[in-house]
Amino acid sequence: MNIVTAIVFWAFVVWLVMQLCYALYFYSRILFLDTDKPARETNARQPASIIICAKNEAQNLIANLPLILEQNYFTNTGQPLFEVLVINDASTDDTAQVTLGLQQRYAHLRLINIPAGTPHTLKGKKFALKTGVAAAAHEWLLLTDADCLPSGKNWLREMAAPLAEGKQIVAGYGGYFKAPGLLNAFNRWETIHTFLQLFSYAKAGLPYMAVGRNMACTKTVMQLAEQSAVWNLSPSGDDDLLVKVCGTPANYAVVANAGAFTHTSAQTSLKGWMKQKQRHLSDGKSYKPGIQYLLGSYGYTLAAVWLYSAVLLFTGYWQWTLALMAARCIIYWWLWSVTARKLKVNDIFYLMPLFDIGWMVFNFAFFPYIALKNKQHWK
């Protein structure tokens, strides 16, 4: 065994030890998460505004809006203690007509129209979001998308509970519906992976992101974030920028009760999925430098252990390499599987090895969008 092979092996050991430390320090926190707790009750319940930014979303509103409007969140006299605002951003389909039709059944539904040709002073979705925040009648805000369906009628109550406890930003889990195909399975695994990072970083006192299709916040903190110099740098990323500008360990909470989940349909075409990922990954540059370093180190060491191990299997270190990689994979695949079970995704365990390697390839393929580009449209 020459000196170069020895250097490669010990570099591999360093990367693998870093991977294990990351898993044990961050990811192991998922073991203490209970997603089956009953809905939380609070005597400090306040009225809330649910904001849905919609651009050509007529069919999704027909499918999903009724459940959002029928949340178990009432006054003592049985009246809805919330409003739902649909911000129609110059749609060319029947978004406005569908919303107006539902208003006949639900008096707490409001339609805010942004006419075609209206100058947008903010990029992408942010203009519609700011319009909705300004129009909201209440201090407590819940944000979701037109294509998202809450897991039940306690979604609003679950997501708003931390606000009653004094929190200002609440992150929830937004999953994907199961559908045939490997792309759907990878989408669901990646969402699990993202939530595991979000949750474990928050528990370590390092909140860094939220999921815009399932989050809550106060109107005060959202309008404070909107005044930030970085708010309009990207057309998307309002969720992550909110946490960057205003999030602290003291004012941020994660809600992971099953009653607080939302789900949507994942992209079914590779082209659509790639476009979506380009937009999402561009927002990573909004994270604080320390968070970027931690996430980057995790991605780099994951790639390194796989690439170095592939080389070392053809050297005299192959037995040690196999043993160390086996230990690393058992720990990671187990933690990912625990997370999947807690998030009610029980059918992709056997794909963990493929997605482990696939996520490395994914990061290489989309590196330009992680490091360089911003997508300039939200639809």
Q: Are residues 257 and 140 in the same domain?
A: yes
Whether 195 and 83 map to the same domain: the answer is: yes
| Residue 168 pLDDT > 60 | yes
Q: Which of 224, 248, 280 is the last residue of a domain?
A: 280
Residue 378 contacts residue 147 (beta carbons within 8 Å):
no
Q: What is the pLDDT of residues 152-166, one digit of tens each?
A: 999 999 999 999 999
Domains in the chain, number: 2
Whether residue 7 is found in the same domain as residue 140: no
Provide the terminal-to-terminal Cα distance of the chain, rounded to the nearest Å. Answer: 56
Q: Please state, in angstroms and rounded to a whole number, the distance separating the CA atoms of residues 81 and 50.
A: 11
341: enclosing H helix or E strand:
helix 318-342
Tell me what the pLDDT averaged over the chain comes to. 91
Residue 7 has pLDDT above 70, yes or no: yes
pLDDT at 377: 54
Residue 285 lies in a domain: no
158 CB-near residues (< 8 Å, 6+ apart): 39, 40, 172, 255, 257, 259, 260
- As a whole number, mean pLDDT of residues 110-123 equals 92
**Which residues span the domain enclosing 93?**
41-280
Residue 317 identity (one-letter amino acid)? Y
Does some domain include residue 128?
A: yes
89: left (phi over 0), alpha (psi -120 to 50) or beta: beta
Q: Which residues contact 328 (CB under 8 A, 6 or more apart)?
A: 16, 19, 20, 305
Say if residue 270 is exposed, middle or buried (CB neighbours under 10 Å; 0-12, 13-18, 19+): exposed
Q: 322 falls in which pLDDT band (50, 70, 90)?
A: very high
pLDDT band, very low/low/confident/very high, at 337 (cuts 50, 70, 90): very high
349 has pLDDT over 80: yes
Q: Is the model's pLDDT at 177 over the cut of 60?
A: yes
Instruction: With beta carbons less than 8 A apart as the criterion, state whether 125 and 378 touch.
Output: yes
| Residue 116 shares a structural domain with residue 243 | yes
**346 class by beta-carbon count within 10 Å (0-12 exposed, 13-18 middle, 19+ buried):** exposed
Condensed to tens digits (0 to 9), the pLDDT of residues 44-69 reads 679 999 999 999 999 999 999 999 99
**How far is it, in rounded angstroms, from Cα 129 to Cα 17?**
43
For the purposes of burial, counting CB atoms within 10 Å of the CB of 265, is it exposed (0-12), middle (13-18) or buried (19 or more)? middle
Cα separation, 288 vs 75, in Å, equals 41
User: In this structure, are residues 60 and 23 in contact, taking their beta carbons and an 8 Å threshold?
Assistant: no
Q: What is the CATH number of the domain that holds 136?
A: 3.90.550.10
Q: Is the domain of 135 the same as that of 173?
A: yes
Dist CA 149 CA 147 (whole Å):
7
Phi and psi torsions of 35, nearest 5°:
-90, 0
CA distances from 256 to 36, 159, 163, 202, 294 (A): 9, 9, 15, 12, 23
Last residue of a domain, one of 280, 310, 344: 280
Note whether 243 and 355 are same-domain residues. Answer: no
Domain membership of residue 378 (yes or no) is no
Give the CA diameter of the chain: 80
Structure tokens at 105: 């059944």
Which of 235, 255, 280 represents a domain boundary (last residue)?
280
**Does residue 175 belong to any structural domain of this protein?**
yes
Q: Using CA atoms, how far apart are residues 27 and 15, in angstroms rounded to an integer?
A: 17
Q: What is the pLDDT of residue 360?
A: 85
- Band (pLDDT 50/70/90 cuts) for residue 278 is low
Q: Is 80 exceeded by the pLDDT of residue 256?
A: yes
pTM for the whole thing? 0.92
Query: Of all residues in the chain, what percent carry a pLDDT higher than 90?
Result: 76
